[in-house]
Structures are given as structure tokens and as C-alpha cells.
Structure 1
Amino acid sequence: MKFRKLSIENYKSFQFPTEIHFPDSENGKSIFLIGGMNGAGKTSIMESINYCLYGGKADEIFRAINRKEIAKGNAAVSFELTAELDDGSELIVKRSWSSGVIESPKAKDLNERLVVVKDGKRVSVQNQQMWQDFIRATVPPGITQFFFFDGEKIQEIAADDHSEVRLKSSLEAALGIQNINQLSSDLLYLKQEERKGFVEISDEDLTFKESELKKEQAKYTRLNRERDEIKEDLTAFKEQYDEAKKRFQATFNRDPESRDAIREAEKRRIQTSNRLGQLENEIRGLCEKSLPFSLLGGFFDGIRQQIENERESLQGEAIKEHAEELAKKIVRVVEEPEPIYNERLSDEKMVELEKRIFNLLREGDAQAATDKLLNLSDRDAARILQKIEELENSDVFLIKPLVEEKQELEVELKKIESSLNSGSATESEQELFGQLQEEMESCATQIGRKTEQLRILEEDILSLEKKVREIEFEIEKLYEKHNVSKEKSDFINECDAIAGLLNQFIVRMRKSKVHLLQEKTFEMYKLLSSKSGLIKDITIDEKSYEVKISDRNGHEIKKSGLSAGEKEVFALSLLWGLSQTSQLNLPIIIDTPLSRLDSTHRDNIIRNYFPNAGDQVIILSTDTEIDENYFKVLESHLSGAASLVFNHQQELTTLKTGYFWEEK
């Protein structure tokens, strides 16, 4: 890959659209030199490339927008990078941020937009993420730190004895090992996902389930056979019962009764007979106690009246007998204690009143005279009236319904005895009666037993049919799972095999890559170092990536023991070794790499590193790093040069063709 053009607009001091073209030299290799004083925008070019390729956080972008444009309300910034891919196709990446038309825009108002154009054809917005992934795959962000770097990156690697250990993941990414590690991790993930819910079904599982099905099917067949046999027996018993019934009807001219019916009839006969006995005892008791007196029940009212009349007659006679005494008492009552009239009667009148009252009492009520038929004392009369009342309230009057019930039961008992009585039949008829009755009873019992057996069998068969269907369904699913299980098992085994091969490949690849990295790093270090004659070897650990530098005597030289210039030379050598070992054809962008180096190391880097760093090298330098002498050394390798001119008053950077003193 080679960069062909970079456009920057409204980013930091690049207020207006600025285009930087990167031409090729005749031999296909190119070193493009961009000069600029400190603060002119060299670092902005490096940042623009990174933002264009990978995007950035909105607040970072917002802070870097040109201050004058922000003051105008223009919160828009854009980058465009044109690159030629290794296959010769052209890729244009345009990335911009804008808040639109809004007053006092803020970082949160920025909206990012990515446009990718490949070979003149714009990629649809729906595929934006796919093309972002494509950009990252083409120019991996974890690796660009070894291709796009500045003096600070060199210082970071040079400052620490074990900086390369901390960069292990980035080093593996640059060497291509990280991709294999990721592939191995992906295989492990796929294997784990495949194992989720995975139950391995073996041939033994299928055999066991099929044997269970055969056993249940055999049981089902046996039950069906038993059902058919019971149906045949049931039909035979029914036919035998019907035949015996016809013979019974023909012989005895009536329908046969079952033993239960006969027993029921006998039970009813006994109950009826017992009730008749109870009724007879009740009737007999009533007759013995009250019936003789109850026969006179029609005379009870006359007797009561006669007793009452005789009582009244005795009272009249008693009044007559004491008439004189009563008359005197009545007269006295008229006068005493006080007269009841106004005019007092004379003695003569009082005597006359007494006579009249006496005569009245003596005469009495002629109609009240009654013949003394009973001539009872008051005690005897009361006893007779009480007895009459007891008889009228006694149960003797229930004797009629009892007699009627007795008559009905006697009729019913005769019917029952008639149905049970076979005494009129001959001995042979009675024997046939018993045989047919017993045969029908036996058949009825067998019919009931076989019917119940048939019902139970039908339920068992239905249950077994359901179970057989379930087992058949399970077997069908097992066969499906068996096939899936084999496929999954094969897939998991393949994952294990591939993972094993990948692990072996990683070990061998790491060894090979690290060995190549050692060679390339040492190769460049010998070209750049002023003490290359003192260094015998540079070795890198295959697992930790720790670098060891050995002198001619085989003693380890700590990186901290090297001079500042030697440390930076080592860092550049390591970076170059990584770019060569990675086999990625990416542009090398170097920002102010020589500021801390002495003249010897600078001379070596100018003459040996820049011309060999890569197919395309973009150098961002001040006039003191690459001065006129170094410019002349590089001039034959340059494909072009440009200068960044910064106007302090306007805070504006513009691009001029030519390097500082070559400005046109």
C-alpha cells in the first residue's frame, strides 16, 4: 500500500482545505519529505491519517477543530486519504464530523460520517461497518504504531530495558502471530458453543432404546392375543347362557331368575312373614287390652249424659231438703249488712218474702228430675269418665289399618311363595330347574368376570400403544441426534485437531518470526550504531520477547547501559525489523526522529535507515534535523518535498511545494 493524497480541512491550524500529494519516484520507491517548524502542523498530519482511517472520539475531534471556524459556528472537520492497494486498486477513505446548522455547537452535537470509494465506486452506507472492518484489516491499528511513529514512540521503546515485553501483544500483531492466536481462540469459542447442550448419543443408546421398543411391542402383541381369547370366551359364555335360558323358558314357561333374584325373593318372603307376625301380635295385644270395652264405644256419650243428669238431680234434691234454711239466709242477705232497697220491708213483708222463696226452692225444676239408673257416687262417676277418655285416646282404633295391612301382606306372601314354590314340579323337573339355574348363574358370573378382564386389557392396550408411540418418537429423535451428535463430535474433534496444529504452528511461527526479527533488527543496528563493532549479537526470547544485547565477549549489555543515541538507534532498528518481519507493505511515517541524536547517529540514519525503511517513507522534519547537508544526501532518493508554513498572526498553516529553501 502507498498513500497518494491526504486532504485536511478545518483541523487545528489547517483552517482551509489542504491537499498533500505523495508522488512515486522512478524506481517505485519514494521518500517524501515534509518540513515544518515546531507548531507548524507536522503532528497534525500524523493525527489526520489516524483519524481518517480509524475515527476518533467526538470530544477529541471537537477540541481540535479550528478555533476561528468554531467561533463562526462552523463545527465541521473532514479528512480524506487516497491510497493505492497492493493489487493496484484505488481506495479513498473520507471521514468527517459535523454538527449541522446549530447555534453554539457542542461535542455531543457532532455526527460522524464515513464514505469509502473503491475503484471509483462508492460503497453503500449499509456496508459502512463492513468497510470499516476492511480498513482495519488492511491497515491494522495495532500495527500502525510500528509504521506511523514519532520521536516519542522511539523514546518510549528506548527508555525502558523491558519495553518490548510490554509491547508483546503489539509485537505479535505485527508479526502476524496474533491472527493465529485469534483463530485459535475462535476455534475454542466455536468448540465451546458446539458443546452447549451437546449430549453424545452412542450406538449403545440406540440399541438399548430399540430393545426396549421390541419388548413393549411383544407385550402389546401378547395383550392383543389375550384380548382376542377373552372375546372368544365371552362370546361362548353368552351363547351358553342364551341356550340355557331358552331351555328354561321352554320347560317352565316363564323367564328364569338368577340366584340373586331368588335370594332376593326369599329375603322378601322372610321379611313379609316377619311383618305379618308383628301385625298379628299387635292386633292380639290390642284385642286383649281394650277391645272388650271398646265395643261399647257407641254408648260412651249416653253414659256421660246420664252421669251428668244424675249429678244435677242430686243437687236439686239437696236444695229442696234445705229450702227453709236457704230461704232465711237469702232474706237476711237482703237486709244485711246493708239494705239493698230504699224502703225497709216490714216484718210481715219479710215473712211473706221468706215463704215465697221457700216455696220456690221446695218446688225446684220439675224437668230436672232424672231416674237413678246408675246411682253412682261422685268418685265412681269420675273413674268411669276417666276410663272412657282413656279408651277413646287408646290405639285400639288403629286396629282397622293394621288388619288391612295384614290382609295385603298375606296376598303378597302368597305370590312370593308361589314364585318360589317348585313343589308341584316333578323330581326330574326340579333337578333340571336347578341345573339350568346353576348353569345360567355360572355363565353370568363368567360373563361378568370376562367383561371386567376385557375392560382392564383394553385400558392396558391403550396405555401400551401410547408408550410404544412415545418410544418410536424417542428413537426417531435419537437417530436425528445421533447423526447430529456424530457431526458435532467430528466437528469438535476437528476443532481439537486444528487447535493442536495451530498451537504447533504458533510455536514454529513464533520461533521463525522471532529469529527473523533478530536478524533484521541486528542488521539495521549494525548499519546505524556507532558501536556496532562492540556488539556481537542481539537475541529475542521466543515467549516473552525480551531483548538481550551481547558484546564480543558474550557478556550481556543492559539497554540502560547504552547511550541515549544508541538506545534510539536500537529502537529504530527494532521498528525496522518489525516492518520487515511483518511482511506488511505499509507506508512508513516518521515524525521528528532525529531531534535527540548526535551527528554520527543522524548521519547513519540519513544514509542507511531512510533509504531502506520501506517502499514509501514520509518524513516530517524540522530544518535542524534534516538540514541542507542531509537534504543533499537524501535528494537522490526523494520523490518530492513540501513545507508547512505557519502564520502566527492568523494561526494558519499552508502547504508550499519544496523543502524550506526550495519553496516555490
Structure 2
Amino acid sequence: MKFRKLTLENYKSFQFPTEIVFPIGDDGRSIFLIGGMNGAGKTSIMEAVTFCLYGGKVDDIYRNINRREKAKGNANVAFEIVIEMDDASELVVKRSWTAGAVSEPRARDLTERLVVVRDGKRVSVQNQEIWQDFIRAAIPPGITQFFFFDGEKIQQIAADDHSEVRLKSSLEAALGIQYINRLASDIVYIKQQERQGFVEISDADLEFKQSELKREKSKRVRKHQERDGLRAELDGFKAQLGDARKRFEASFHAAPESREAMREQEKKRVLAANRLAQVDSEIRNLCEKALPFSIAGKLFGGIRRQIEAERESASGEAIKENAALLAKRIVRVVEEPEPIYREKLSAERMAELERRIFRMLKEGDHNAEVTKVLDLSDRDAARVLNRMEALENSDVFLLKPLLEEADSLKVQLRQLEGVVGQVGALSPTERDLFDELQSVMESCSTQIGRKTEQLRLVEEDVLTLDKRIAAIEVEIEKLYEKHNVSKEKVDFIEECDAIASVLNQFIVRLRKSKVHVLQEKTFEMYRLLSSRSGLIKDITIDDKTYEVRITDRNGHEIRKSSMAAGEKEVFAISLLWGLAQTSELKLPIIIDTPLSRLDSTHRDNIVNHYFPNAGEQVVILSTDTEIDTSYYRSLKPRLSGAACLEFDQRQELTTFRQGYFWETRHG
């Protein structure tokens, strides 16, 4: 697998779309050197690769958007990697974040989008998750730290005596052991799932369920018998109640009433009598106050109309009496303040118009003449109207509904007194028969209610038993089915145990074999890079804990913490190279500023021995003081290309240029 091209846009100092093409040599190998001063964007290249392959948190993406573009409201970030796969196919991974049409975008507004193109054919969006899994399988994120690393990763591994132990899970992923572990865990999980859904069925289990079914059916038979007995008792009480009702009607020629019903009727009679007395009292009070006036209430409308008619007639008489004055005023209005017609009337015509208006007003409306009956002054008319209105709003008109209520109460009392009086008029013998029949009917009614409730509960029990029996029958049917497949299940679970055991044994052997190769490869590179390699006899790695033990020629252990800083870093680089070799994954190696903390001897060894052998594709990110002119001359025959990141501090802009530092400046 090789990276062919990386594109960054609007990320950190890469404001504009920037393409980085990774050249490949004729032999298929590649060492590509990219120079850049501190802050020029070397780390951004490594981050871009990780974000493009695996995505990232929107807060991290938003925080690293180019500041100038973010200030303009542009929150779009994009990465693209073109990868040549091991089978020579081309895979293009494009990942972008956009905030859409938001005026002031925030981190929460960013939406991630993944596009995968394989051999020129775009993969559908619906398969985005599947292709993300494909990317993770092809380039496992857990082990990229051993292929894409910087000086800080080297420092981390070199930090103390037990750093390898803390990297155990990542080391196992790089060595391929993690997948076998996951397979073994999956086998155990499948076995547990089978056990959860499986119970071994024996003949005793079937016999127990059959006996349980027999018991429930016996309960149901007893409940049926109890239900039949209750139904018979209920029918008997209903028949007894019917006979008592017939005897009551034949003896007393009335529908039977219970003692409670009769007491309720007596209570109603007393309430009706009390209400009738109250209504009679209200009627007497109303009669004493305004009864005479209420008799004339129907005449109030006619009186009002007569008063209004006489008032209008009086207005007409006033107009007749002042007809001459009104005629003069009307004629003046025609011309004053200015004429309302085109030609001015002569004095004769104005006089004729005044005479006609006078005659019209003097004659008046003969149809509106009214015979004065009341002949009231305005003051007396107002007093009469006010008095009628007061009478209409008084309580005197409540008399009619009160009288109707009194009649209704009297009818109700006669009916109630008839029933109560009928019982009071019975002879002692009839009274005894009355009480006897009442007791029988009340007792039967009570028993009917009790037996009805008992019958309801028994029928619910029968339904419950029916459901229980049906469920047991279904269980028995399933048990027979499971009984037939029980042996197959047992065999499958035993097979899972056997496979898990074999896998665990394989993991032990694989880990031992891989760790043996790892320690050989690590020691091989360490001898090439270390300035003290002649003093080191062996490097061993524990195949369970991954703890590293370094021994000298005398067999004494050398603790990593006692080693010089340069030796620690050389050991860390050797371990990274050993992991890459042992994993057999042909991933690109990206190294960021690996020489910054090393002395000249160790730098010589890394430039001459590590870089040429680190992998099939190596990308070195360096400052001008790490790969200087001397090291550049040593590396140049092996380089497939060199480039430089130029950073403009004023514009805060990084530009990618072909050629290393001095090649860029001097051509």
C-alpha cells in the first residue's frame, strides 16, 4: 500500500487547496523528504492523514480551521488521500466538514461527509459505514501510531522501563494477535448465547410437565363443578324471588316494594310536603306586596305605545303652530350662505316657495293624528314608564312558576301518600303477610347478588386455568421439539469449547513466535543504530507482558532508565521498525522530526541505516537542522523526491514547493 497524493484545504495554515504528490521510484520504493521550519505545517500533514482516514471530533476540526477563512465565515474543511492498494487498485478517500449556509458557524454546525472512490467508481452513500470499516481493516487505527509517528511518540516509548507494557493492546494489534483474541472471544460469546437459549431436555423434564398439565386439568374440572352448583343455586333464588313477587301482587294488587324503597318514598313525601309549605308561603308574600299591579301587567305594552303616540302628536302640533316661522327659515337656508341652484329665484318665486312650505307644515300628517286618552305631561309620562319598569323587574312575575310548582308538588304528594297510606291501612294478618313477603324478597335479592359475584370469580378462574393449560400444552410441544435437538446443541457447545481451547493455545504459540521475531528485528536495527551496540549482548521481550530486558556482554541487565537519552530514542526507533517488520503490513511510514534530540553519531546511523530500510514508502518531515546539507547529500541518491513547506508569517499561509530548502531558494 502506498500514498500517492494528499490534499488539504482550509486546515491550519493550509488556507487554500494544497496537493502533496508522493513520488514513487522505479523500483517501487519511495523515500520522500519534506522540509519545513517549526510551525510551517509538518504536523498538519500527519494530522490530515489521520483525519482523512478515520474522521475526528468536530471540536478538534473547528479549532484548527484556518483563522482567516473562519473570520470570513468559511468553516469548510476538506482532506483527500489517493492510495495505491496492494492489488494495484486505486482507492480515493475524501472526507470533509461543512457548516452549510450559517452566517456565524460554530463547532456544532459542522457536518461530516465521507466519499470513497475505488478504481474511478464512487461508492454509494448508503455504503459509507461499510467503507469506513473497510478503511479501518486495511489501515487499523490501533497500529498507525507505529507507522505514523513523531519525536513525541519516540520519547513516549523511550520514557521509562515499562512503557511497552502499557502499549500491550496496541502491540498485539500490530502483531496480528488481537484478531485471534477477538475470534476466541467471539467463539466464547457464541457459546454463551447458545447456552442462554438452550436448556438440555431430559425424559424427567417431559414427565414433570405432563404431571403439571394433569394437575391443572383436575383443577379445571373442580372449578366447572363449582360453577354448575352456583348456577343452580342462583336459578333457585331467582325462582323464589319471582314466586314472592307474584304472591305480593296477588295479595296487595300493587307492585312489590322493598322496605328500603318504602322508606325512601316516605322520605320523598316529607321533602315534598316541606317544599309545598315553603312555596305557599312565598305565594302569600307576593300576593300581599304587588298582586294588584300584576293584574294590570298585560296592559303595560299598550300604555307605553299610547304615551309614545301622544308624544309624537304633540310634536306635530308644535310644528303647525310655528309653521310661518319655520317656512321663513327653510327658505333662507336655500340661499344662505350661498345658493344651492344655478339661477337665483326672484322675490315672487321665493314668496311662493315660502307659502307652499307654510301650507305643508300647517296641514301636517292627517294619518299621524292621535286621540289623546292619557294627556300626560312629559314629567308624568316619565314617572308612569319608570313605575311600570320597576313592576316588571319585581318578583311579582315569579308568581306563575310558583303556582305551577305548587300544583306539581300536590300531585306528587297524593301519589306518595297513597302508597304509604295503603300500607298503614292493612289489617294485622295482612301486615304479617306483607312483612313476610318483604323479608323473602329482600333475602332472595341479597343471595342473588352474592351468588352472581361468586359465579363471576369462578368463571374468571376457569378462564385463567384454560389459558394456563393451553400454555403448558404449548410448552410440552416445544419441549418435545427441543428434546429432539438437544443432543445437537450439546455437541455444538462442546465443539465451541474445543475451538476456543485450540485458539487459546494458538494465541500462546503465535504470541511467542511473533514476540521472538519482534525481538530479533528490534535487536537487528538496534545494532545498526546504537553507538554502544558492541556492549549489548541481547534484547529479550516477555511474550506475556511485553516487558523488554536488555543485557550486556556479562549477562547483566541494563535498565532502560539508566541509558543515555540518545540510546533510549534509538531503542524506541528500533522497536518501531521491529513492529513494522513483524506485522508484515505494508503501510507507509511517516516520520516527523525524528532527529531533533539525537547526537551526530546516532543521526548518522539513522540516516544511513534506518531511513533506507524503514519501509517500502517512507515520508520524512524534517527541519533544516535535522536533515541538513550533509545528510541531504547522503540521502539524495535514495530519495524519490524532496519538497518544502514555506510559511509566510505575515499572511499565516503555508505553501508547498518542490525541492528541499536550498533547492527551493536557489533552484
TM-score, normalisation: structure 2: 0.60
Query: Which residue number in structure 2 is paired with residue 574 of structure 1?
Result: 575
1:180 deviation in Å? Answer: 1.2
Paired residues for 1:536-615 under 5 Å: 536-615=537-616
CA distance in 2, matches of 1:656, 1:99: 31
1:201 deviation in Å? Answer: 1.5
Query: Which residue number in structure 2 is paired with residue 143 of structure 1?
Result: 143
Q: What is the CA deviation profile of residues 400-457 of structure 1, one whole-angstrom value per residue up to 9, with x for unaligned ones?
A: xxxxxxxxxxxxxxxxxxxxxxxxxxxxxxxxxxxxxxxxxxxxxxxxxxxxxxxxxx
Query: Which residue number in structure 2 is paired with residue 83 of structure 1?
Result: 83
Q: What is the CA deviation profile of residues 186-240 of structure 1, one whole-angstrom value per residue up to 9, with x for unaligned ones?
A: 222222222214211136656x589989x99xxxxxxxxxxxxxxxxxxxxxxxx
- SS in structure 1 at match of 2:520: helix
Q: Does 1:646 align with 2:647?
A: yes
Structure 2: unaligned runs, 5 residues or longer? 215-465
Matched-pair contact (CA < 8 Å) for 1:539–1:549: yes
1:476 deviation in Å? Answer: 3.8
- SS in structure 2 at match of 1:533: helix
Counterpart of 1:81, as a letter, is I
Cα 1:539–1:470 change in 2 (3 A) is: closer
Q: What is the CA deviation profile of residues 325-374 of structure 1, one whole-angstrom value per residue up to 9, with x for unaligned ones?
A: xxxxxxxxxxxxxxxxxxxxxxxxxxxxxxxxxxxxxxxxxxxxxxxxxx
Matched-pair contact (CA < 8 Å) for 2:30–2:639: yes
1:86 deviation in Å? Answer: 1.0
Counterpart of 2:101, as a letter, is V
Matched-pair contact (CA < 8 Å) for 1:7–1:20: yes
Larger Rg: 1
CA distance in 2, matches of 1:98, 1:77: 7
- SS in structure 2 at match of 1:649: coil
Matched-pair contact (CA < 8 Å) for 1:80–1:92: yes
1:138 deviation in Å? Answer: 0.8
1:492 deviation in Å? Answer: 1.8
Cα 1:483–1:653 change in 2 (3 A) is: farther
1:491 deviation in Å? Answer: 2.5
CA distance in 2, matches of 1:72, 1:651: 15
Counterpart of 1:46, as a letter, is M
1:77 deviation in Å? Answer: 0.4
Query: Which residue number in structure 2 is paired with residue 132 of structure 1?
Result: 132
- SS in structure 2 at match of 1:631: helix
Query: Which residue number in structure 2 is paired with residue 44 of structure 1?
Result: 44
1:165 deviation in Å? Answer: 0.6
Q: Does 1:169 align with 2:169?
A: yes
CA distance in 2, matches of 1:17, 1:649: 19
Query: Which residue number in structure 2 is paired with residue 508 of structure 1?
Result: 509
Query: Which residue number in structure 2 is paired with residue 490 of structure 1?
Result: 491
Cα 1:481–1:560 change in 2 (3 A) is: same
Query: Which residue number in structure 2 is paired with residue 621 of structure 1?
Result: 622
CA distance in 2, matches of 1:468, 1:66: 74
Matched-pair contact (CA < 8 Å) for 2:77–2:98: yes
Cα 1:467–1:29 change in 2 (3 A) is: closer
Query: Which residue number in structure 2 is paired with residue 238 of structure 1?
Result: none
Query: Which residue number in structure 2 is paired with residue 94 of structure 1?
Result: 94
CA distance in 2, matches of 1:591, 1:641: 15
CA distance in 2, matches of 1:580, 1:483: 53
CA distance in 1, matches of 2:596, 2:640: 23
CA distance in 1, matches of 2:555, 2:190: 48
Query: Which residue number in structure 2 is paired with residue 68 of structure 1?
Result: 68
- SS in structure 2 at match of 1:169: helix
- SS in structure 2 at match of 1:32: strand
CA distance in 2, matches of 1:195, 1:44: 51
1:479 deviation in Å? Answer: 3.1
Q: What is the CA deviation profile of residues 171-194 of structure 1, one whole-angstrom value per residue up to 9, with x for unaligned ones?
A: 111111111111112222222222
Matched-pair contact (CA < 8 Å) for 2:75–2:98: yes
Counterpart of 1:650, as a letter, is Q
1:490 deviation in Å? Answer: 2.5
Give the CA RMSD over aligned residues.
2.5
Paired residues for 1:425-436 under 5 Å: none
Matched-pair contact (CA < 8 Å) for 1:592–1:621: yes
Matched-pair contact (CA < 8 Å) for 1:89–1:119: yes
Paired residues for 1:130-529 under 5 Å: 130-202=130-202, 205=205, 208=207, 476-529=477-530
Q: What is the CA deviation profile of residues 448-501 of structure 1, one whole-angstrom value per residue up to 9, with x for unaligned ones?
A: xxxxxxxxxxxxxxxxx9999998865542232124433332322222111101
Structure 1: unaligned runs, 5 residues or longer? 217-464
- Greater shift, 467-476 or 101-110, is seen at 467-476
- SS in structure 1 at match of 2:533: coil
Query: Which residue number in structure 2 is paired with residue 433 of structure 1?
Result: none
Counterpart of 1:519, as a letter, is E
Counterpart of 2:112, as a letter, is E
TM-score, normalisation: structure 1: 0.60
Counterpart of 1:50, as a letter, is T
CA distance in 2, matches of 1:629, 1:594: 14
1:79 deviation in Å? Answer: 0.2
Query: Which residue number in structure 2 is paired with residue 530 of structure 1?
Result: 531
Matched-pair contact (CA < 8 Å) for 1:209–1:471: no
Q: What is the CA deviation profile of residues 514-556 of structure 1, one whole-angstrom value per residue up to 9, with x for unaligned ones?
A: 1000100000000000100000000001111000000000000
CA distance in 2, matches of 1:519, 1:466: 72
Query: Which residue number in structure 2 is paired with residue 385 of structure 1?
Result: none
- SS in structure 1 at match of 2:88: coil
CA distance in 1, matches of 2:13, 2:104: 21
CA distance in 1, matches of 2:127, 2:494: 36
- SS in structure 2 at match of 1:520: helix
Matched-pair contact (CA < 8 Å) for 2:210–2:476: no
- SS in structure 2 at match of 1:44: helix
Matched-pair contact (CA < 8 Å) for 1:209–1:475: no
Matched-pair contact (CA < 8 Å) for 1:610–1:617: yes
Matched-pair contact (CA < 8 Å) for 1:643–1:658: yes
Query: Which residue number in structure 1 is paired with residue 59 of structure 2?
Result: 59
CA distance in 2, matches of 1:210, 1:69: 76
Cα 1:482–1:646 change in 2 (3 A) is: same
Q: Count the aligned residue pairs.
A: 417
Matched-pair contact (CA < 8 Å) for 1:160–1:559: yes
- SS in structure 2 at match of 1:636: helix
1:603 deviation in Å? Answer: 0.3
Cα 1:188–1:662 change in 2 (3 A) is: same
Counterpart of 2:176, as a letter, is G
Matched-pair contact (CA < 8 Å) for 1:95–1:115: yes
Counterpart of 2:549, as a letter, is K
1:6 deviation in Å? Answer: 0.2
Counterpart of 2:66, as a letter, is N
- Greater shift, 479-488 or 560-569, is seen at 479-488
CA distance in 2, matches of 1:173, 1:620: 26
Give runs of ≥4 in structure 1 deviating > 6 Å: 209-213, 465-472
CA distance in 1, matches of 2:79, 2:170: 26
- SS in structure 1 at match of 2:183: helix
CA distance in 2, matches of 1:647, 1:551: 51
- Greater shift, 612-621 or 483-492, is seen at 483-492
Counterpart of 1:654, as a letter, is T
CA distance in 1, matches of 2:139, 2:617: 15
Counterpart of 2:95, as a letter, is R
- SS in structure 1 at match of 2:200: coil
Counterpart of 2:606, as a letter, is I
Matched-pair contact (CA < 8 Å) for 1:30–1:615: yes
1:612 deviation in Å? Answer: 0.4
CA distance in 1, matches of 2:15, 2:468: 83
CA distance in 2, matches of 1:535, 1:197: 58
1:582 deviation in Å? Answer: 0.8
1:137 deviation in Å? Answer: 0.9
Query: Which residue number in structure 2 is paired with residue 284 of structure 1?
Result: none
